[in-house]
Amino acid sequence: MTVTKYSANGNDFVIFIAQEHADRSELAQKLCHRQNGVGADGMVVVLPHRQYDFEWEFYNSDGSRAAMCGNASRAVAHFAHEKGICKEGQAEFLTGAGVIRATINGLYVVSDMVEPKILRDDIDEEGERWWLIDSGVPHLIAVRENIDTFDLAEARRLREKYNANVNICRFEDGTMYVRTYERGVEDETLACGTGMVACFIRLHREGKVGEQVRVYPKSGDELYVSYENGLYRFGGKVTKTFLAETLI
């Protein structure tokens, strides 16, 4: 089979086209394996759809399914654009979290995110206040003055306790910085789109940021999150790294 590898600001994905739904959990584990496979944080399967340009199946690297992934939504929109699956410069596709609309301008892709849900804003862990926000998938968010250190043991505990991704963020001089521990990968990743959006939602709801913010994940890449006309939007560059034929 032929697969395409994409990186969206350090979050990497294996993408391919199929014609039917199937349980591809085992395939995701094999393809995403860093040593014995292609290597990726996740796998995206592009499937035909009668109403939208396409729909997807999204798998984490451990084979688990996820409803949504912000960075993958931008990568797959660019993939579909190159394959002629969607209209010129626009993609509309179905995810487990709802319909995503994306705009493609060269390598720069902006996704309109699904309507978020504030699940809790009163979680106390170790004397620190956390919010739990579903921005397509659930995220725990803590706002800190310093995120140079990320306690991954604590992140794993919170991930298990709340079944959510775990984010720490800080805001300084108009810029947001985010670090994320992702379930399904079970480690810190270089970037997480829904995590960056969830952090922005908390800061925006608390009145600490305006309608748009520049954001840097651990990868150091520059992205933007905004709130426009009732929609949260997430934009940045994607990279098609290679096309490969695999025997897996």
- Give catalytic residues, as residue numbers: 69, 192
If you compute the radius of gyration of the chain from its CA atoms, what whole number of angstroms results? 17
**DSSP-derived secondary structure for 93-156:** EEETTEEEEEEEETTEEEEEPPPPEEEEEEEEETTEEEEEEESSSEEEEEE-S--S---HHHHH
CB 169 within 8 A of CB 49: no
Q: What single-letter DSSP state applies at residue 62?
A: T
Sequence-distant (6+) residues with CB within 8 A of 212 are 224, 225, 226, 227, 228
The pair of three-digit structure tokens given for residue 193, joined into one six-digit string: 């789109």
Tokens 């992140």 correspond to what residue? 155
